[in-house]
Amino acid sequence: MLVKSSIFQRIYYGWFIVFIAGLGIFFSGPGQTYSNSQFIDEYIRDFGWSRSQVSSLYSVATLIAGLIMIFVGRFIDRFGQRMMMVSVGTLFALACFFNSMVSSMWMLAIGFFLVRLLGQGSMSLIPNTLVAQWFIKKRGRAFSIMTLGSFASAMSFPIINTWLIGEWGWQFAWRFWGVLLLVLFVPIALIGVRNKPEQIGLVPDGLSQNERGDAGVTIGAKVTASEQNWTLKEAMRTKAFWAILVCVGIPSMINTGITFHIISILGTNDLSPEIAAMVLSLMAAVGIPMSLVSGYLTEKVKTNYLLLGIFIIEIMLLLLLLITNHLVIAIVFGTLWGIANGFERIALNVIWPNYFGRKYVGSINGFGVTMGVLGSAFGPLPFGVGFDLFQSYTPILLISLVFPVIGILSALIAKKPDKTQLVEQS
């Protein structure tokens, strides 16, 4: 077994799992908007399709993929992360090859659906549930390290895609990622992934059975005597489950809406597209250290309090966009946005296993990923419609303030549930 290797006796194997999970998050890139956006103009130029046609297909494909993610979570619980990661990685590579052959609208629709389902959805969900199995007390810092793969992906894919498309064409770019998935990621996942530490004679966090014992573990500044494993049906009977779903959907919707229209929003304030690009880069750069900080904080502070802080920052962001008409203010906005994103990426992933345990985290977190994908599908629409109606983003930005307020109320409701109370009520 792997654990018998001398290096794995010195270093807890869970940290190698974190690396593989981070690699999985990185390779979700071909299914993410920051990667697909590089291909849109190529489709429009080569095939004569309109921007609205391509955008509509992308939104519908994202919506359908989001709904199906519920079943992906159940498959993870049934078949395990290793089999799912290898299977999804292989299918995702084939989806990349399929996208390289797109020549009609129906092929584009199928291609968008496949990369959104397998990339944005599945390749994000599987690593999150995998790391949750290997860590409890150190779960926050493990997630923060894994999330570095997300920021690395967001920063590198647009640059690499632009170069590949410019040198060899968009078809080659899709095939490039398909080959890397098959020859690099899939073999690493097949050889290296183990679903749970118990499979190789270990326990979560690298503690021995005697060290862990019944002493309890610290989760979100609260000591629990033992980890409570909830089924999906049990979790759905709690107020916290539905409140967390709201907390997941709102940032996804607001962030996607702002990101999709950031050039236009800042343009109405006489700021150039270059400044808008700088804001996006600054957001990603600031998010890296903030994700590490938030990973540590999730081990010390109750997770719903962190969610409360996220929505307070979102209110500040929406108000700040109203007056972002100077480079200095744009830098402040990008920095604050990066802080919020750093906290969101960790807190919204850690909260599911922290609240509902490891055993059925795939099914439960599958609902969370579904809500996130649905939020990203609907996010750009109100900003676009609002601008068309009012010829300004001010009304929709003010109306959008309602959502983080709802998020604040949901965060206050989203207290860690106690399974014993659920049993007593039944």
Q: Tell me if the pTM is above 0.85.
A: no
**Residue-level pLDDT at 391:** 82
User: Block means of pLDDT (10 residues each) for the chain, length 426 residues?
Assistant: 56 92 95 81 84 78 86 89 96 97 94 93 90 86 87 82 89 96 96 90 70 44 55 89 92 83 81 79 82 78 86 93 90 91 82 84 82 80 78 89 94 86 58
Helix residue ranges, H only, 268-359: 273-297, 303-321, 327-356
DSSP for 89-139 reads: HHHHHHHHHHHTT--SHHHHHHHHHHHIIIIIIIHHHHHHHHHHHH-STTH
Q: Residue 34 and residue 31: Cα distance in Å, rounded?
A: 9
> Would you state the structure tokens that stand for residue 171, as one six-digit string?
């078809």
Task: Check: CB of residue 276 under 8 Å from CB of residue 267.
Answer: yes
Element (H, E) at 254: helix 239-267
**Residue-level pLDDT at 312:** 94
**Residue-level pLDDT at 51:** 65
CA-to-CA dists, residue 422 to 411, 417, 419, 425, 426, angstroms: 20, 8, 5, 5, 6
Handedness of CA 75, 80, 85, 90 (dihedral sign): negative
Element (H, E) at 415: none
**Residue-level pLDDT at 345:** 78
R_g of the chain computed on alpha carbons? 21
Left, alpha or beta for 221 (phi > 0: left; psi -120 to 50: alpha)?
Answer: left
**Residue-level pLDDT at 151:** 81
Task: Check: CB of residue 121 under 8 Å from CB of residue 254.
Answer: no
**Residue-level pLDDT at 140:** 81
**Residue-level pLDDT at 31:** 92
